[in-house]
Amino acid sequence: MTATHTDKPAIVIARAIFPEVVEQLQQYFVVESNQANESWSGTEFVKRLRGKHGALTTGEQRIDAEVLAACPDLKICANMAVGHDNFDLPAMTAAGVLATNAPDVLTETTADGGFALLMAAARRISEGEHFLRAGKWREWSYDMLLGQDVHGTTLGIVGMGRIGQAIARRGARGFGMTVLYHNRSRLSAGKEQDAGGARYVRLDELLRRADHVVLVAPLTPQTRHLIGAAELALMKPTATLVNIGRGGVVDDAALAAALQAGQIAAAGLDVFEGEPSVHPALLRCSNVVLTPHIASASAPTRLAMARLAADNLIDYLTRGTARTPLNPELLA
C-alpha cells in the first residue's frame, strides 16, 4: 500500500519484527510488514519499497543509487542494526534519503556475545560438548581437551568503538587482562583509561603479542580481508581469533587453512563472508565455534533495537528529527 491510499505516510518493514513494534508503527503509518519473514530478493524488496516513504531494514537489504532511483518517494531507511554496510551513504545523502542505525542499545549485549565466543573458543567448550554428546567421554585423561587461559592474558581488540571498549572493560576488569587495541584513530587518554588502560598499537604488533584477538571492525573497503593469511601467520599458535564485526573483515578461506594447520589454536565466529552461507572448510574445522550472527540477540536488546529503528521512522516522518542519523546533514 502506498501514500496514495491514505494521508498517513507508507512504510515497509523488510523482515519480521516484534508484533508490538509493528503495532506502534501502524499508529503512524500505513505499514507493509514482512511478518512471514520471507527472504525477499533484491528485486522483490525494491517492488515493496516503491511508493513508500520509509523502510525498517535489518542490514540485509542493500540501499544504493539503483534502489534509490527506483524509489523516488523514499525519505528514510532505519536499520535495526548498528552496522550499516548495506547503505551506500553518499548515494542516500545525494538522494535526500535519511539513514539511521541502532547504536548504543546493543553495546553491552554484543560485548557479552563476543566474550562468550572468546571463552568458548579458548576453553574448547563446543568441542567438549560435541565430544560428550558423541559418547566419547569414557575416562579421565590429563590432556583431555586442553585449552588456553583467558584470565591474566593479553587481549587484542581491532576496532575500538563502543563495543570494542565494552569488551576491553570486561577483559581488564573481569579477567585481569592486558588490553591492546588497534583502531582507525587513537582514543583519548580518558577513554583508554576507561577501557581498562588499553594501549594503542599497530595491527602487526597486536597480532604478534595478543593471546586472544577480537575483531569488532565494520566492513569498509579498508577493512575487507584485513585479516588474511599474512596476518594470521603473525599470530601465536596458541592464540584465538574472534570475529563479531562483519563478515569479509576476515578472509574465511585463509582462516580455515590456518585453523586446520594449527597456525592458531581456535576461533569464534559470529559473522561470515556471504552469510548466511558459511565457508565449507570452516564447517569442517573442530576448533572453531560458529554462531549465526547472534551477538546482539538477547530478547531485551533486540526489542530495544527494533524500538529505536521505529522511533527514528516516527520522529523523521512526523516531525523531521531523528535519534541516530548517519547523514545528519539532511536534518539541517
d(CA 322, CA 325): 6
Least gap, CB of 82 to ligand DGY (angstroms): 4
Q: Applying CB under 6 A, does 228 fall inside the site for ligand DGY? A: no
Binding mask 260-299 for ligand DGY (x = CB under 6 A): ------------------------------------x---
- Residue with smaller CB distance to ligand DGY, 83 or 128: 83
Residue 275: active-site member: yes
Q: Applying CB under 6 A, does 14 fall inside the site for ligand DGY? A: no
N-to-C CA span, the chain: 30
Q: Applying CB under 6 A, does 234 fall inside the site for ligand DGY? A: no
Q: Applying CB under 6 A, does 240 fall inside the site for ligand DGY? A: no
Q: Which of 15, 209, 293, 307 is catalytic?
A: 293
- Asked if residues 34 and 40 have their Cβ atoms less than 8 Å apart, the reply is yes
Least gap, CB of 106 to ligand DGY (angstroms): 6
Q: Which of 62, 199, 275, 323 is catalytic?
A: 275
- Residue with smaller CB distance to ligand DGY, 211 or 252: 252
Determine the interface stretch with ligand DGY among 75-83, 88-96, 121-129, 257-265 (rule: CB under 6 A). 75-83
d(CA 85, CA 284): 29
Taking the mean position of all CA atoms in its chain, how far away is CA 83? 6
- Residue with smaller CB distance to ligand DGY, 57 or 178: 57
Least gap, CB of 244 to ligand DGY (angstroms): 8
Q: Where do the H-state alpha helices sit in 80-217?
A: 89-94, 107-122, 125-133, 162-169, 175, 189-194, 203-209
- Residue with smaller CB distance to ligand DGY, 106 or 254: 106
Q: Smallest Cα–Cα separation from 96: which of 75, 70, 79?
A: 75
Helix, strand, coil distribution of the chain in percent, nearest 5: 35, 15, 45
> CA of 42: how far to CAs of 62, 63, 193, 289, in Å?
8, 10, 45, 31
Sheet containing strand 178-182, strands side by side: 199-200, 178-182, 154-158, 212-215, 240-243, 266-269, 288-290
Q: Applying CB under 6 A, does 83 fall inside the site for ligand DGY? A: yes
- Residue with smaller CB distance to ligand DGY, 101 or 263: 101
Residues touching ligand DGY: how many (CB under 6 A)?
6
Q: Applying CB under 6 A, does 82 fall inside the site for ligand DGY? A: yes
Residues within the interface to ligand DGY (CB under 6 A): 59, 81-83, 106, 296
Kindly list the catalytic residues. Answer: 246, 275, 293
